[in-house]
Structure 1
Amino acid sequence: MMPCPVRIVVFCLLFALTAKAGERQQPPLQSKRATQWCDSLTKQAATYYHKNSYQSALKSYLQALKIAEDHRLQKQRAFLLNNISALYIDLYQPKNLPNTQKGLQYAKQAVEALKALKTDSIEKRAALAVAYINYGDLLNSYGTDSKRPEFQQKAIAVFSEGIDFVKNTADYDTQANLYANLAYTYKNLNDKPKYFFYLQQAYRLTDQHPSAITLYVKQGVNFALGEYYSISGNISKALLHLHEAESLLKQEADPNYQMMNLVYGLANTIYQQTGNYKLAHQYQTRYWHIKDSLLNAETLRKFEEMEVRYQSERKGRQLKETALQLQNANLMRNALMAVAVLLCLSLFLFYRAYKNRHRALLLKQEVADMALQKAGVELAANRRLLERHTASLVEKNHLIDGLQQQLLQTGKADDKTLSKLANSRILTRQDWEEYKRLFDKVHPGFFIKLRSHFPDITDADERILAFSRLNISVKEAAALLGISYESMKNSRYRLRKKIGIQNDVDLKEVIGKM
């Protein structure tokens, strides 16, 4: 969130707390099924979140929230509001102030709902500590983006209240989160001494209580200190914390994409400062690969549409509840008539719900078919464009061969011929970048998987494997790369040895299994 690396969405903690709240609430018999349904949707949302599928996570959370509000499950409602506000932090965009405002509303409701719970359980205290973090984070972001420092001052008050709330507990992870977020608030207010002071407080906790601090928080604190020292010009300390953040990322089986993006961006900056442009370029490439994998504007648009649908359903539910109260009043006057009316109304609502559900399914199927057809057309177009680009490169090579034969036979060439030769290149860097861009559209994620399976391959090896994926012959590949047929065969032989593939195994078959 913002440049803040420690946005502190402790989803594992929030999920566990929500589940425990459901176990301890012990609802009446008529609410048990609703509670089980609500807990099931919460688990489903947490699974989506860990797969970085934020849109699906939001859908499940909103469904669970609707059930909790309908059945007055106050504990579940409080924890779900906390989870949804955390999702808005993950979907943060600096220019989308209305979206940040919505997140603020959920975060404020979460704090109020948790405080209102008539219990002092460990789960409630832990969730309230996280709610302080989410609320303060969104206040800081909104104040920075709208250039209204009064929101940042309020964020400082919220973070300070959170620190007072947990400072006498053993929850060192939350304490470190609060200090780091407080540090970034002061950074955005250009108060460098306090920015550094609270970063040091967070780092001190990670150093003194390493087993109590999550990997994500350690990554964020080390990134933040690396960024601070980079800005301050202390490159040696910046590199120290950068390497620590990278080491912590490698320890995580499923690292967070946003944290990876922050660390890779910082590495690019620091290595440029040291003059090591080779490493800077490598990290910049990783940075853009990760950035392309994160949420785009289309995802945010769908997120906002889902929020609108949820609010509409909520208003509709309130209207139905009002109508039901009026019907109950009529029941008091005439029981028999009310039963008849209620029966007719139930049948009508059932029929309308069935028709609406059927219509929605048909519409959903139609939209899915259109999207699939559009994707197929785009893929075919990209495939044809890649084939034309390959043919163009081969044609370039044939032109150069012809010009060279003319020079060998006649010993000279006219000015027009020499001009063609001078302006022709065989797979220049620009050609390859364009070729690679087209290839990625036809086979998305190919180069990322390639590097993941074979991290030691060179750029030349990468090209050979890409040509093999397209079933381009050795002779054509040699022509594309501007090398001899024998050189191409030797390069393929060395590549096979490097990645441990026998001569009788087809390269395309191995690549196709990735």
Structure 2
Amino acid sequence: MASNKQHSPGSSRRFYILLLLAGFFLFAFPQNDSGVNLKNKVETLLNDNDIISANRLLNRNTSLDPEYVIEVLNLNLAKAKSEEDSEALAYTYLSIGNFWLMRTNNIKAYENFYQAEKLSRQNHFDWILALAMMNRSHLEPDIESRINLLREAIEMFGKLNDPVNLAKAHLNLGQVFSNYLRADSLKKSNRGNDVSLNPPAFNPSYRDSAFSHYHIAGRLNDSISHPEIEASVNVHFAEWYKFEGDFIKAQEFFETASHFFGLANQAKGQIYCLIEMADINVIKGEYPEAAMKLEKCMEWAGRMGFNDYLSTVYNKFTILYEKTGQLEKALNYQRLYTQSLTQLNEVISQDRIHSLNLEYALSEQNNLISSLNHKKQTNRLLMILISSAALLAIITSYLLVQNKRRKLQLIALQVEETRRLNEMKQNLMEADLARQQLEKDLLEEKVKVRTERIIMIANQINKLDTFLQSMSHDVKSLVNNPESNELAKKINDLKLSLSQSMYEQTNLRELQALSTETNQDFFFHIGQKYEGITRDDIKLLSFLVMNMASKEISGHFNISQESVNKKRYRLRQKLGIHQGKSFAEFYRETLEKLHG
């Protein structure tokens, strides 16, 4: 058996792919399931309401009974219509068309392909549309129509990223071109389901086009290794070798093709290969082998309902028995062949297909006219709506402009009112600042007057202290004179009285310094703000703010002047008074801060 990777009949005639037999479109590699298993799978899918998957399973397995297949497809069609499932309905039409195309009922196939194509265009089911166009191309008698359908399908398969069907579409398009060039070969293959082409004027570019599409399909299949495409490759080369008379190679390629058709579960492809191998046996004079193959083909094609191949088998039997001299059998098969041809002509009538084409074209034109009228009415309604919307927009814009103007005027009034209020606030603030400045000046004046008064009192007290101290000194000198004890006693009493008076005077001065309202605030502030201030510190500070000399202060504290200086220094540290600033200045600045 020849390998599918080594088929090259000659450097001048290199072909890679053959047209796929009608209806062989798959989305996955099929399984070689038995009929019962397939039916069970179909029933399971239908119970799950998965019509598309059920139809796909029926499409890719031609081994099922035709009666069962068409029954299920018709039920699926009715179900899809009742459920208004447009996608399932379109795919069911496609599946029914494929069923009838496989059985050479081209009229029914064309009708269903058209319905699938129509629904798919309306609902943008591109994957179904591309398949419908590819399959309908087999039924178009005009070569240009076939080419246009297949080119459109190729473009759609490319966008859908479907390499399997893209390869098949390229095969079909290549076959359309090669059919014209190899008419004799196609006549010998007798593939009854492929409608004859109306030959146009000879176009030399068809050969290059055919091979370019075969090359594309071959490259695509290198990555996907699809059994149907491999089978078609081998069929193509088998036909070519048969055409050249190399029957050994032709039979090898037909056997290889039949093997791949079996993997793809495509019975019709296997029957085709078997018919061609029987024809080779007849040509070679191997009549018993040919008869066995034809008997198998007749039983198989009859069981599957492949009437076109059944007709071909009748014709092959007629030729076989004529060659063997069995004229009675040849006559019987000739009658069967004639009868089958009559039946086939009824279902593949090209006139009927042309009529359907015209009917569907007229229907499309009517639909187009209806659509245009609907669009006209829609456009008229849109114009009215647009005009109304434009008028409404103008009115709305005018109202918005007026509203904006009113808002701007209101904002201007608010700005003016705000400016006026700000001016009033500013005037009030300036008046308040002026009042505060007057109060500050008045307070400073009060402080100044009180300070001066305190200083005057302090000076008077100082003078009194000096006088009393001088008197005390004189009294001491008298007391120390022992000449008069009585006088000394009296003077001593006077001394005690004067000392008591001086002590009370000191307390009075301290009380005076601490009792005024201003000094109360000052000394309260000092006690609160500065930590570690003692009562002696407050007493010392009261003497210092009155500018008392260290000598006088030492007398009040009964300490030396040096100790007073140390106390003054420590007090400066506690209050943070730097050298060069007097305690009186510190006193005035603190009062200004308190009353400022």
Alignment of 1:223-302 (within 5 A): 223-231=275-283, 234-236=284-286, 239-241=288-290, 243-251=292-300, 253-296=303-346, 299-302=349-352
Q: What is the CA-CA distance between 1:335 and the residue it aligns to? A: 1.5
1:99 paired to 2:148: no
Counterpart secondary structure, 1:295 = helix
Which structure is higher in RCO with an 8 Å CA cutoff and minimum separation 6?
2
Residue 111 of structure 1 corresponds to which residue in structure 2? 154
Counterpart secondary structure, 1:9 = coil
Q: Distance in 2 between matches of 1:302 and 1:272?
A: 35
Q: What is the CA-CA distance between 1:267 and the residue it aligns to? A: 2.3
Q: What is the CA-CA distance between 1:140 and the residue it aligns to? A: 2.9
Residue 285 and residue 57 in structure 1: after superposition, are their counterparts in 2 closer, same or farther (change >3 A)?
same
Q: Which amino acid aligns with 1:39?
A: Y
1:38 paired to 2:90: yes
Residue 172 of structure 2 corresponds to which residue in structure 1? 134
Residue 298 and residue 286 in structure 1: after superposition, are their counterparts in 2 closer, same or farther (change >3 A)?
closer
Counterpart secondary structure, 1:8 = coil
Q: Distance in 1 between matches of 2:90 and 2:29?
A: 14
Residue 51 and residue 262 in structure 1: after superposition, are their counterparts in 2 closer, same or farther (change >3 A)?
closer
Deviation string 1:45-84 (CA, Å, 9 cap, x unpaired) is: 3454466543223122212211211222211211111221
Q: Which amino acid aligns with 2:159?
A: A
Q: Which amino acid aligns with 1:142?
A: Y
Figure out how many residues of one structure are paired with residues of the other and give that number: 308
Contact map agreement 1:38 1:68 (CA 8 A) in 2? yes
Residue 154 of structure 1 corresponds to which residue in structure 2? 209
Q: Which amino acid aligns with 1:130?
A: K
Contact map agreement 1:6 1:220 (CA 8 A) in 2? no
Q: Which amino acid aligns with 1:155?
A: A
Contact map agreement 1:136 1:159 (CA 8 A) in 2? yes
Q: Distance in 2 between matches of 1:160 and 1:335?
A: 56
Alignment of 1:302-317 (within 5 A): 302-317=352-367
Residue 220 of structure 1 corresponds to which residue in structure 2? 272
Residue 243 and residue 107 in structure 1: after superposition, are their counterparts in 2 closer, same or farther (change >3 A)?
farther
Residue 226 and residue 206 in structure 1: after superposition, are their counterparts in 2 closer, same or farther (change >3 A)?
same
Residue 21 of structure 2 corresponds to which residue in structure 1? 8
Contact map agreement 2:19 2:174 (CA 8 A) in 1? no
Q: Distance in 2 between matches of 1:242 and 1:115?
A: 45
Q: Distance in 2 between matches of 1:305 and 1:275?
A: 45
Deviation string 1:125-184 (CA, Å, 9 cap, x unpaired) is: 333343234333333333437484743553344334323322454532332123324544
TM-score (norm. length: structure 2): 0.44
Deviation string 1:392-450 (CA, Å, 9 cap, x unpaired) is: xxxxxxxxxxxxxxxxxxxxxxxxxxxxxxxxxxxxxxxxxxxxxxxxxxxxxxxxxxx
Residue 173 and residue 239 in structure 1: after superposition, are their counterparts in 2 closer, same or farther (change >3 A)?
farther
Q: Which amino acid aligns with 1:126?
A: V
Deviation string 1:7-54 (CA, Å, 9 cap, x unpaired) is: 61135749999945999xxxxxxx984324323433443454466543
Residue 294 and residue 332 in structure 1: after superposition, are their counterparts in 2 closer, same or farther (change >3 A)?
closer
Which of 6, 31, 54 is equivalent to 2:106? 54
Counterpart secondary structure, 2:94 = helix
Q: What is the CA-CA distance between 1:110 and the residue it aligns to? A: 2.1
Residue 242 and residue 217 in structure 1: after superposition, are their counterparts in 2 closer, same or farther (change >3 A)?
farther
Contact map agreement 1:8 1:134 (CA 8 A) in 2? no
Residue 208 and residue 42 in structure 1: after superposition, are their counterparts in 2 closer, same or farther (change >3 A)?
closer
Superposed CA RMSD: 4.2
Q: What is the CA-CA distance between 1:337 and the residue it aligns to? A: 8.7
Q: Which amino acid aligns with 2:299?
A: K
Name stretches of at least 5 consecutive residues in structure 1 with no aligned partner. Answer: 24-30, 89-97, 340-514
The structure whose Rg is larger is 2
**Identical-residue share of aligned pairs (%):** 14
Q: What is the CA-CA distance between 1:319 and the residue it aligns to? A: 5.1
Q: Which amino acid aligns with 1:67?
A: L
Q: Distance in 1 between matches of 2:99 and 2:321?
A: 36
Residue 389 of structure 1 corresponds to which residue in structure 2? none
Q: What is the CA-CA distance between 1:303 and the residue it aligns to? A: 0.9
Q: Which amino acid aligns with 2:22?
A: V
Q: Distance in 1 between matches of 2:220 and 2:291?
A: 31
Contact map agreement 2:91 2:116 (CA 8 A) in 1? yes
Q: Which amino acid aligns with 2:148?
A: Q
Contact map agreement 2:230 2:260 (CA 8 A) in 1? no
